Structure 1
């Protein structure tokens, strides 16, 4: 009797401790800020119709459920997180989008069942987004000082505009300049006396 009890203890231990061999997944995954990442967890036969979930928090008893499936293969989306169960492949995937630095934490992918759920811990690390390359900045600055190019649809009008400017120069500006020159010459003309020749001194 005592030997049988000893043999049953390991089996009972698996029932109350999360992370048994019935479900498996990556130990750790990394993502980049503003990007996305996907976590894939596998499970044993017999759990195809069970609800799968994604939970956040290092403590198993206090982790917060982020999203759950409906027991079918239909994708469920909640905010920036989605989950889909592939029952034929006996795996489900969790996708996190628009990643933020504070998304870094300990998560669990698990299976809901009577009694204690099954779970596998996953460490999620989000790295800061890379800085803009210097070459990109240099290109942007160079474009700021580039002279604007006339649109193609206006390029055919440039000779016509030049001809109009030339005509204005001939018919308006040249006579105006000649008139101004004549006025200047008229003001500076030499004055003559009206009494004929000047008298000579006696």
Structure 2
């Protein structure tokens, strides 16, 4: 009985922890920054929270953490609703800035706690993990390279390159991420590993991080459209437009030619028929305009036998046609 009571208490405790901490908001877990440097931390949230207030909270315990204003001298919280993400930019960091922080989304009621996730920030003169350039720019269709540095204590730790959009990670070696782009990770085994992304597409832009062991460093990749690809695209569009215009004009000319041919053919047939009728057509035409109809005179050339039902071949019925000279 006592065992069952303990199990029930444990389950309730786990449920309480899940309700209070198992939210949809996600962020990194352990971020390393060099003293005096800056870092931008991505915080992802569920799309249903696009319009909710986002904030940055400092402190080990959630229930008494201190909410940091979204805009201060060293802190800037920026929301990106289209990406279901907000970022926290921290500048001019010193050792006292090390500690626990929370990415949070305000729910707005007393029954359900705010959605949140925590991370630990380490600020030191020689961080365990760092990058040569936390913001990288490239062009669509080209490639970018990121060098991730680590200390001797992390030589044997797992090295990964992760992306925030789907929280997927790639290890040492070559990985095809899509039909065109690929990720190549090479580790020198001493101080750094290099990440090369090739065949970049627009969807490859966004937030990534170098991960060595349990330490991460965020990296943002920005992609612009390749001018050569734009020119080729414009040239292709112009060619397509030219082909369309040429096809349309050619079709209209062909249709016009067929119509003219049909009209000419009909006219030739009419001329042929007139020629075959010869003067008869002309005579009828003349007669239709110059004929006057005279009285019909009945004459009998032979007497018909009353016993015959029909006239004989000698019976003629005729009329005189008087032509006019007009």
- What TM-score do the two structures reach when normalised by structure 1? 0.51
Flag as ranges the 4+ runs of structure 1 deviating above 2 A. 12-16
CA deviation digits over 1:110-154, x for unaligned, max 9? 001123111101100001269xxxxxxxxxxxxxxxxxxxxxxxx
Larger Rg: 2
* CA RMSD across the alignment: 2.4
For the residues of structure 1 that align with 2:85 and 2:121, how far apart are their CA atoms?
Answer: 19
In the alignment, is residue 17 of structure 1 matched against residue 17 of structure 2? no
1:31 maps to 33
1:61 CA displacement: 0.7
In structure 2, how many angstroms separate the alpha carbons of the residues matched to 1:83 and 1:58? 20
SS state at 1:40 partner: strand
Q: Which residue of 2 aligns with 1:56?
A: 58
User: CA–CA distance in 1 between the matches of 2:36 and 2:122?
Assistant: 13
Distance 1:38 1:26, change over 3 A: same
Which residue, 95, 100, 103 being the options, matches 1:101? 95
1:82 matched to 2:79? The reply is: no
What is the DSSP-based 3-state SS (H/G/I as helix, E as strand, rest coil) of the residue aligned with 2:48? coil
Q: Does 1 or 2 have the higher relative contact order (CA < 8 Å, sep 6+)?
A: 1
Shift, 1:93, TM fit: 0.2
Contact preservation (8 Å) 1:109, 1:121: yes
SS at match of 1:46: helix
Instruction: Give 1:67-146 correspondences, 5 Å limit.
Output: 67-68=69-70, 77-113=71-107, 114-115=109-110, 116-128=113-125
Taking the aligned partners of 1:63 and 1:107, their CA distance within structure 2 comes to 8
Task: Assess if the C-alpha contact under 8 Å between 1:18 and 1:117 holds in 2.
Answer: no
Deviations 1:23-42 (A, max 9, x none): 11101111111110111010
1:26 partner SS: coil
Distance between the aligned counterparts of 1:84 and 1:61, measured in 2? 24
- C-alpha separation between the residues in 2 aligned to 1:19 and 1:106? 17
Task: State how far apart, in whole Å, the 1-side matches of 2:76 and 2:35 are.
Answer: 18
Q: 2 CA distance for matches of 1:39 and 1:67? A: 16
Q: Is residue 42 from structure 1 mapped to residue 44 from structure 2 by the alignment?
A: yes
CA distance in 2, matches of 1:49, 1:14: 26
Unaligned runs of 5+ in 1: 1-8, 69-76, 131-202
SS at 2:51 equivalent: coil
The aligned length equals 113
Partner of residue 67, structure 2:
65
Q: CA deviation at 1:14?
A: 7.0
> What residue is the counterpart of 1:3 in the other structure?
none
CA distance in 1, matches of 2:117, 2:84: 15
Distance 1:42 1:14 in 2: 20
Q: Per-residue deviation at 1:16?
A: 3.7
